[in-house]
Amino acid sequence: MKIGDRVRVLTVPPDLREGELSTQSLFKLCVGRTFSIVGFQGNLLELEVGEVLSKEPCMDSIWIEPEHVEIVATPD
């Protein structure tokens, strides 16, 4: 996987907890949707997901393990 690849979020990581930032709820809104990979931190992929909250994509992001996504397109 590389920056620019489009991935579909398949599942919510099981260890996420609902907290002040509503992290689990945000991940649930992302399931079934596609996003571009915008960064990496160790094994985690960064996806800009603001659109699921009716914002600009860059306004919110999630960090997710690759086993919870599938590649649906790669840049040419």
Q: What are the pLDDT digits (tens) for 10-45? A: 999 888 766 655 688 889 999 999 999 999 999 999
Provide the domain count of the chain: 1
**29 belongs to a structural domain:** yes
pLDDT in tens, 2-19: 999 999 999 998 887 666
CA distances from 69 to 3, 20, 50, 66 (A): 14, 25, 18, 6
Q: How far apart are CA 67 and CA 74, in angstroms?
A: 17
pLDDT value of residue 57: 81
**59 belongs to a structural domain:** yes
Q: Is the pLDDT of residue 64 over 90?
A: yes
**1 belongs to a structural domain:** no
Predicted TM-score (pTM) of the model is 0.86
Domain limits for position 60 = 6-73
55: Cα within 13 Å, side-chain hemisphere: 10
**21 belongs to a structural domain:** yes
pLDDT value of residue 76: 72
